[in-house]
Chain A
């Protein structure tokens, strides 16, 4: 079993839809949770990061962490075609430990 599980998709939604992306994990030591967006043939771009459980909002993006369920989510409101990309969750226990990535979910927002 992988430490971090993420549905690879592809996920196809119409423009304007609310998108929900999720990851589950097994390591209870993880404290820091991140979402990266990666366009084709580009490096990942840090979108959101959250420490421990709770919600964080930034514009159209909301990140949620539920440590009791070992489940994290990224919500995208009013999705746009420019949101079409692969979204990677990543997490770490901190203290200089390496990031553990999910496999990424490919999202396509259609006109």
Chain B
């Protein structure tokens, strides 16, 4: 149980284009999903918290107009990187917290974004 999927696992795009990453909880309902960014050999950096049916809460320093988050259902959240630039190249990981849980987060396998 507690499986979270991400799609795509890897994407290469050209500078200036937009990329959408999907995060799905496969066998549970997730009221809250989280989006993280991870640079090589570094820990996870929380970008935003996404609650189903409401606007995402972004961490300080994260541009909400650049990283668009939509959490339209209890099993799906999407992150769209708009007008991507090479500095946006990174490993993006989502996690989901089961409805009713206080703390456990289950992570997706991550999406490697490369902007050329």
Contacts and interface: CB of A to CB of B under 8 A. Distances in A.
Contact of B107 (A44, A96, A97): A44
A92 B102 CA distance: 9
A96 B102 contact: yes
A91 to B, nearest CB: 9
Contacts of B108: 43
B105 A99 contact: yes
Interface in B28-47: 32, 34, 41-44, 46
Nearest to A10: B41
Contact of B44 (A41, A42, A45, A101): A101
B34 A94 contact: no
A42 B110 contact: yes
Given A41-B91, A96-B32, A46 B104 contact: yes
A108 B15 CA distance: 37
A43 B43 contact: no
B103 A43 contact: no
B110 A41 contact: yes
Interface residues of B, number: 24
A44 B44 contact: yes
B42 to A, nearest CB: 7
29 contacts: A32-B102, A34-B103, A34-B104, A36-B107, A41-B112, A43-B4, A43-B6, A43-B107, A43-B108, A43-B109, A43-B110, A44-B93, A46-B104, A46-B105, A46-B106, A46-B107, A49-B103, A92-B102, A92-B103, A94-B102, A95-B102, A96-B102, A97-B103, A98-B34, A99-B103, A99-B105, A101-B44, A103-B42, A103-B43
Given A32-B103, A45-B107, A96-B102, 10 more contacts: A44-B44, A46-B104, A46-B106, A49-B104, A92-B103, A94-B103, A97-B103, A98-B46, A99-B105, A104-B43
